[in-house]
Structure 1
Amino acid sequence: MAPQSGHRDPDSSHLQRNLSNRHIQLIAIGGAIGTGLFMGSGKTISLAGPSVILVYLIIGVMLFFVMRAMGELLLSNLQYKSFIDFSSDLLGPWAGFFMGWTYWFCWIITAIADVIAIAAYMQFWFPDLPQWVPALACVGLLLSLNLLTVKLFGEIEFWFAMIKIVAIVALVGTGLFMAYSAFVAPSGRVAGLSNLWNDGGFFPNGMMGFFAGFQIAVFAFVGIELVGTTAAEARDPERTLPRAINSIPVRIVIFYVMALVAIMAVTPWRDVVPSKSPFVELFVLAGLPAAAGIINFVVLTSAASSANGGVFSTSRMLYGLAEKGDAPRRFAVLSRRHVPASGLMFSCICLLGGAALMYVIPDLVEAFTLVTTVSATLFMFVWSLILLSYLVYRKQRPALHAASRYKMPGGRFMACACLAFFAFIVVLLLLEADTRQALFVAPLWFLLLGVGYAVARKRAIQGRPD
Structure 2
Amino acid sequence: MLSKTSEIEINADGTRRGLSNLAVQMIAFGGSIGTGLFLGAGSTIHKTGPSIMLIYLVIGVFFFFMMRAIGEMMYSDPEQHTFVSFIGKYISPRFGYFAAWSYWAELILAGMAELTAISTYIKYWLPNTPAWIVQIFFLATLTIVNLSMVRSFGRSETFLSGIKIVAILVLIVVGIYMIAVHHENPAGTHASLSNLTDGFTMFPNGFHSFINAFPMVFFAFQGMEFVGITTAETKQPLKVLPHAVNQIIGRILLFYIGALFIIMTITPWRSLSQSQSPFVQIFELAGLPAASQIINLVVIAAACSTLNSAIFSTGRHLYQLAQESTGKTMNPFEKVSKSGIPYGSVLFSAGMMILAPIISSFNSLGEAFTFIASISSDIYILVCILTMVAHWKYRHSKDFLDNGFKMPHYKITNPLTILLFVGIFITLFFNKETLLPAVGALVWLVGFNIILSFSNKKELDS
TM-score past 0.5 threshold: yes
What residue is the counterpart of 1:153 in the other structure? 153
Q: Determine helix, strand or coil for the equivalent of 2:186.
A: coil
What residue is the counterpart of 2:171 in the other structure? 171
| Cα 1:255/1:186, change in 2 over 3 Å | same
What residue is the counterpart of 1:441 in the other structure? 440
Name the stretch that deviates more: 306-315 or 18-27: 18-27
* Distance of 2:271 and 2:402 partners within structure 1: 53
1:333 is aligned to 2:335:
yes
| Cα 1:408/1:462, change in 2 over 3 Å | closer
* Distance of 1:57 and 1:273 partners within structure 2: 24
1:215 is aligned to 2:215:
yes
Cα deviation 1:173-197 (Å, max 9, x = unaligned):
1112212222222333322222223
What residue is the counterpart of 2:379 in the other structure? 378
| Cα 1:127/1:270, change in 2 over 3 Å | farther
What residue is the counterpart of 1:265 in the other structure? 265
* Distance of 2:86 and 2:254 partners within structure 1: 32
Name the stretch that deviates more: 348-357 or 39-48: 348-357
Cα deviation 1:200-228 (Å, max 9, x = unaligned):
63532122221121222222111100011
| Cα 1:252/1:462, change in 2 over 3 Å | closer
Map 1:114-263 → 2, pairs under 5 A = 114-127=114-127, 129-198=129-198, 201-263=201-263
| Cα 1:131/1:280, change in 2 over 3 Å | farther
Name the stretch that deviates more: 254-263 or 77-86: 77-86
Indicate conservation of the 8 Å contact 1:377/1:442, yes or no: yes
What residue is the counterpart of 1:348 in the other structure? 350
The Cα shift of 1:450 comes to 2.6
* Distance of 1:415 and 1:98 partners within structure 2: 22
What residue is the counterpart of 1:426 in the other structure? 425
The number of residue pairs the alignment matches comes to 458
* Distance of 1:242 and 1:45 partners within structure 2: 33
What residue is the counterpart of 1:93 in the other structure? 93
Map 1:444-459 → 2, pairs under 5 A = 444-447=443-446, 449-450=448-449, 453-454=452-453, 457=456
Indicate conservation of the 8 Å contact 1:110/1:371, yes or no: no
* Distance of 1:284 and 1:363 partners within structure 2: 37
What residue is the counterpart of 2:390 in the other structure? 389
* Distance of 2:131 and 2:172 partners within structure 1: 31
Indicate conservation of the 8 Å contact 2:81/2:316, yes or no: no
Q: Determine helix, strand or coil for the equivalent of 1:402.
A: coil
Q: TM-score, normalised by structure 2?
A: 0.89
Indicate conservation of the 8 Å contact 1:19/1:233, yes or no: yes
| Cα 1:147/1:425, change in 2 over 3 Å | same
* Distance of 2:347 and 2:417 partners within structure 1: 35
* Distance of 1:461 and 1:76 partners within structure 2: 24
Q: Determine helix, strand or coil for the equivalent of 1:205.
A: coil
| RMSD between superposed Cα atoms in Å | 2.9
* Distance of 1:81 and 1:137 partners within structure 2: 28
For structure 1, the 5+ residue unaligned runs are none
Indicate conservation of the 8 Å contact 1:218/1:376, yes or no: no
For structure 2, the 5+ residue unaligned runs are none
Indicate conservation of the 8 Å contact 1:38/1:277, yes or no: yes
Q: TM-score, normalised by structure 1?
A: 0.89
What residue is the counterpart of 1:39 in the other structure? 39
Cα deviation 1:253-303 (Å, max 9, x = unaligned):
321100101112224322333333322332234442313322221121011
What residue is the counterpart of 2:318 in the other structure? 318
Amino acid at match of 1:335: S
Indicate conservation of the 8 Å contact 1:283/1:291, yes or no: yes
The Cα shift of 1:415 comes to 0.9
Cα deviation 1:29-63 (Å, max 9, x = unaligned):
33332332223322211222221111211111110
Name the stretch that deviates more: 125-134 or 270-279: 125-134
The Cα shift of 1:116 comes to 3.2
Name the stretch that deviates more: 228-237 or 327-336: 327-336
* Distance of 2:119 and 2:436 partners within structure 1: 24
* Distance of 1:368 and 1:51 partners within structure 2: 32
The Cα shift of 1:333 comes to 1.1
Indicate conservation of the 8 Å contact 1:357/1:367, yes or no: no
